[in-house]
Structure 1
Amino acid sequence: MENQYDVVFIGSGPGGYTGAIRASQLGYKVAIVEKYSTLGGTCTNVGCIPAKALLDSTEHFHQAKEQFKTHGINLNGDISLDFTQFISRKAGVVGQNTAGLIYLMKKNKIDVHQGLGSFVDNTHLKVTAADKETVLTSKYFVIATGSKPSSIPGVTIDKKRIITSTESLSLSAQPKSMVIIGGGVIGVELASVYARIGTDVTIIEYTDSLIPTMDRELGKALFKTLGKLNIKMLLSSKVQSAANLGEQASVKFLDKDGKEQEILTDYCLVAVGRRAYTDGLNLKAAGVESEKNGKVKVNGQLQTNVPNIYAIGDVIDGPMLAHKAEDEGTFVAETINGQKPHINYNLIPGVVYTWPEVASVGQTEEQLKAAGIEYKSGKFPYSASARARASMDTDGFVKVLVSPKYGEVLGVHIIGPRAADVIAQSVVGMEYEVTAEDMYRISYAHPTYSEALKDAYLMASGQGAINI
């Protein structure tokens, strides 16, 4: 029958579209329900992809201004940024990705229903669009509706002067100044974007470290590298309020000494995290239970308390990462199919796309100490890497944490060039329980950024570094 399916994914972000494709590959009749006019969710439209496009553009601009002369590259006249083209290129990248998703849906014979999905009961979902209302029937539903930016008391987001990451990716003109509330992943990435093109950027962070959920040494190193971009970083500071003054915004906060301070700025960007987004889903009608924090409650199979309804990605516990959602989308499709898939949540890497990049997998030193777990550390600086010297990317290090008993790799933490790509090798090794000795005995191409891993493993094993 028309509008009758085996599996319906609510939300077309990385978790939704990946899960839908896998379910279709397994022979199910599949549909996706998407509230917005384009597929891809936050990541593709207003998150990961556009942010990386702007990060790459601004890094090119920064290198042209700061490094090209050292490379022997001389540019005639002043270097300037065409802000309109800067934003336009980002929009083009997003458009290419959303077009690719439309192609994938057609190729895999997945029906796309545009509109707000709302449960009627556990087997029926009403989809409301501007011009019509449709009811879908399905054996299984997968909630993949993602997340929205959060705020803090005293700060109301108006999307004009008090903005989120979404608005910051499509400003009409380059701001002269910006205050960013939050020194986590989103905050430091967008601080990098705007500081590189000359915006006066201030980060106000409540804790005493940038990227506070990651290994503390990474936060300290990132503080130093962002300082080179003239970013002001106010740690241990508590924002009390933010107000739209018309042509500017006012941000009031208590500094690390408890003194009241105020900054006037063109924009106040709120980057204090995200919340699960299930607005309008009418979960109660399906009998689905939520946690106190608004996230959907699931078991080890990502199944809600209603057996035929699953939930994945940002709407459930765990890190709000696109690749986590993708893994969970595939996991659910294969679970429905009767398979026994596996996700090792300890080995989902976290990445910060500043430059140098930051990447981490496994446990941090702080976690190991708190748990009383013995470990040895091996740390190799990129200043000693021939490849890093050649590219003038000598900031940062590789740190590996290893069990002294069996040589098990417990954690890998990198701040350095292409860390987002280098970390993948360690994820593979840790997933298949490769020892530190195995990791330093395999052959690494020379010269490469990944050689720093080899030397860090050697050092954690009680040997000296051998590469330059």
Structure 2
Amino acid sequence: MQNFDVVVIGAGPGGYVAAIRSAQLGFKTAVIEREFLGGVCLNVGCIPSKAMITATHLLHKAQHNFKEMGLNIKGGIDVDMKQLVKWKQSVSDKMSGGVNQLLKGYGVTIIKGDAEFKSSKEISVKSSAGTESVQAKYFVVATGSRPIEIPGFKFDEKDICSSTGALAFDTIPKRVAVIGGGYIGLEISSYLRKLGTEVTVIEAQSALLAGVVDPDCAQIVTRKLTKAGVNVLYGAKAKGQKKVKDGYEVTVEINGKDEVVKCDKILVTVGRRPNGDQANLKAAGIQVDERGFVKVDAQRRTNVSNIFAIGDIAGQPMLAHKASHEGVLVAEVIAGHNRVYDAKTVPAVVFTDPEIAAAGMTEAEAKAKGHTDLLISKFPFAANGRAVSMMETDGFVKMIADKKTHVLLGVHIVGPEASNLISEAVLAIEMGARIEDLALSIHPHPTLGETMMEAAEATLGHAIHIIQKPLKA
């Protein structure tokens, strides 16, 4: 029997952060992980996918932009897929190894195995070495989520894949059918297409990223995907698949009629489900809702006072940075700090080409919350010197503000480095900044960041580098 002050179940971006902060605060802390430190994000999700996206973005530039820049490559560029996957894995391994060093450096006990609650004060951990019991004053449930499987498409991670399998192809697939046009499906579709794969996206909605991002932003990405040769089937439902001599045939229903999509690999990206059915939460008396999420309050405390839940299992949005924020919060709550989860916005990023990033409200959300009179404007990357010099001019920065107060309500970016630009918007929204605060802050030139300043000026009606009609009084 081992005893701790704090035991964290799951070492993903929420769990390992909670463990480190708990140890920093002087608690005797343990983290339990059944697979790999850093969780899905560091090992088979966010980090490896960004590595593949980065590599193929550079490949695309070399193939399509270098000649215009005067950079001539003699002969073609050969892609060594095995080496690319090996390099991608090395990136993940470095990050996971860094988490291991941090945990050990702060004196966190790492326990490998599968955790199950026996009561609200005790868990059992099963591993290849056997089963051990662990007791703690406080538990933090950070068990994450898993890809949703759909009937007839059971994952083998070789031919019928979740994102995990799609990030580990050792040869470039010739034809891939992607079921689901959400952010995971489109990120992987983008990088596969740049490798030369024929990609067909099977999307149930009438538009890509519907309800996920600002429609104007989604339109830019859709247009570029189409231009790149990605085939998108809208209003389509994948009904089943069968193995044939040269791959697979996926039966797709569109407008009541069946069509067949031929492919070598099938990627299913219809979302993720929380792991509320794991770790025997009921034995501790923890309430789980019908969707599998653990019910928590503003301090991320469950209905059992000494047990907290963070990350994907604690509700939407299911994003790594939200989990990390909650990990710090919970450790500080356990330490007696006066903290609650009160973020005004959780930024979201889609690493397509171009990237999409958002903070705050969409136009529809703003109106639903009583902001009936809005100032909305866009500033295009085509009018930004740095974007032009990068040959990446697709997209814009869109700002939404309350017309009466000029308080910034939302920022939606589609374009180069959107993922890096959005942090300024997060800070502005959290501080309750007005549009003038952004417009009057001097931004360095020539940078992509200037688009934030100019979008604010455009929202006020007087951007310098675009021609605008005067705003109505």
1:215 aligns with 2:230: no
Q: 1:338 to 1:244 in 2, by over 3 A?
A: farther
Query: Take 2:342 and 2:306, find their aligned partners in 1: how far apart are those partners?
Result: 24
Q: C-alpha offsets along residues 36-67 of structure 1, whole Å, 9 cap, x if unaligned?
A: 1x211000110001000111111111111111
Q: C-alpha offsets along residues 50-87 of structure 1, whole Å, 9 cap, x if unaligned?
A: 00011111111111111111111111111111111110
Q: C-alpha offsets along residues 277-318 of structure 1, whole Å, 9 cap, x if unaligned?
A: 144411111111110011111112111111111101011211
C-alpha deviation, 1:219, in angstroms: 1.0
C-alpha deviation, 1:246, in angstroms: 6.7
> Counterparts of 1:176-187 in structure 2 under 5 Å?
176-187=174-185
Give the count of matched residue pairs: 465
Question: Equivalent residue for 2:350?
Answer: 352
Q: 1:346 to 1:260 in 2, by over 3 A?
A: farther
Q: Is the 8 A contact 2:344 2:430 kept in 1?
A: no
1:408 aligns with 2:407: yes
Q: C-alpha offsets along residues 389-425 of structure 1, whole Å, 9 cap, x if unaligned?
A: 1110000010000100111111100001100000001
Q: Is the 8 A contact 1:385 1:467 kept in 2?
A: no
C-alpha deviation, 1:168, in angstroms: 0.6
Query: Take 1:421 and 1:71, find their aligned partners in 2: how far apart are those partners?
Result: 25
Matched residue of 1:211: which SS? coil
C-alpha deviation, 1:342, in angstroms: 4.2
> Counterparts of 1:242-321 in structure 2 under 5 Å?
242-245=241-244, 247-255=246-254, 257-321=255-319
Matched residue of 2:67: which SS? coil
Structure 2 residue runs of 5 or longer lacking an equivalent are: 468-473
Question: Equivalent residue for 1:395?
Answer: 394
C-alpha deviation, 1:128, in angstroms: 0.5
Query: Take 1:304 and 1:239, find their aligned partners in 2: how far apart are those partners?
Result: 38
Query: Take 2:246 and 2:33, find their aligned partners in 1: how far apart are those partners?
Result: 36
1:145 aligns with 2:143: yes
Question: Equivalent residue for 1:33?
Answer: 32
C-alpha deviation, 1:367, in angstroms: 2.0
> Counterparts of 1:76-95 in structure 2 under 5 Å?
76-95=74-93
C-alpha deviation, 1:154, in angstroms: 4.2
Query: Take 2:286 and 2:346, find their aligned partners in 1: how far apart are those partners?
Result: 27
Matched residue of 1:347: which SS? coil
Structure 1 residue runs of 5 or longer lacking an equivalent are: none
Question: Equivalent residue for 1:23?
Answer: 22
Q: 1:359 to 1:422 in 2, by over 3 A?
A: same
Deviates more, 1:372-381 or 1:14-23: 372-381
1:106 aligns with 2:90: no
Question: Equivalent residue for 1:430?
Answer: 429
Query: Take 1:236 and 1:24, find their aligned partners in 2: how far apart are those partners?
Result: 50
Query: Take 1:66 and 1:142, find their aligned partners in 2: how far apart are those partners?
Result: 49
C-alpha deviation, 1:254, in angstroms: 2.0
Q: Is the 8 A contact 1:180 1:268 kept in 2?
A: yes
Q: C-alpha offsets along residues 218-263 of structure 1, whole Å, 9 cap, x if unaligned?
A: 11111011123211122222222234447522211122x4332110
Query: Take 2:68 and 2:24, find their aligned partners in 1: how far apart are those partners?
Result: 52
Percent identity over the alignment? 39
Question: Equivalent residue for 2:155?
Answer: 157
TM (norm. structure 1) is 0.96
Q: Is the 8 A contact 1:116 1:280 kept in 2?
A: no
Which amino acid in 1 is paired with 2:385? A
TM (norm. structure 2) is 0.95
C-alpha deviation, 1:459, in angstroms: 1.6
Query: Take 1:123 and 1:263, find their aligned partners in 2: how far apart are those partners?
Result: 52
Matched residue of 1:64: which SS? helix
Question: Equivalent residue for 2:73?
Answer: 75
Which amino acid in 2 is paired with 1:60? L
1:236 aligns with 2:206: no
Question: Equivalent residue for 1:343?
Answer: 341
Q: 1:243 to 1:304 in 2, by over 3 A?
A: farther
Q: Is the 8 A contact 1:121 1:285 kept in 2?
A: yes
Which amino acid in 1 is paired with 2:221? L
> Counterparts of 1:32-71 in structure 2 under 5 Å?
32-36=31-35, 38-71=36-69
Q: Is the 8 A contact 1:162 1:244 kept in 2?
A: no
Query: Take 1:436 and 1:155, find their aligned partners in 2: how far apart are those partners?
Result: 48
Query: Take 1:279 and 1:50, find their aligned partners in 2: how far apart are those partners?
Result: 27
Matched residue of 2:153: which SS? coil
Q: C-alpha offsets along residues 404-456 of structure 1, whole Å, 9 cap, x if unaligned?
A: 01111111000011000000011011111111011100000011111111111
Q: Is the 8 A contact 1:162 1:242 kept in 2?
A: no
Indicate which of 161, 164, 167 corresponds to 1:166: 164
Q: 1:443 to 1:343 in 2, by over 3 A?
A: farther
Q: C-alpha offsets along residues 135-166 of structure 1, whole Å, 9 cap, x if unaligned?
A: 11100000001110003344333333221100
Q: C-alpha offsets along residues 5-43 of structure 1, whole Å, 9 cap, x if unaligned?
A: 01000000000011111111111010000011x211000
Matched residue of 1:50: which SS? helix
Query: Take 1:63 and 1:200, find their aligned partners in 2: how far apart are those partners?
Result: 19
Which amino acid in 1 is paired with 2:305? P
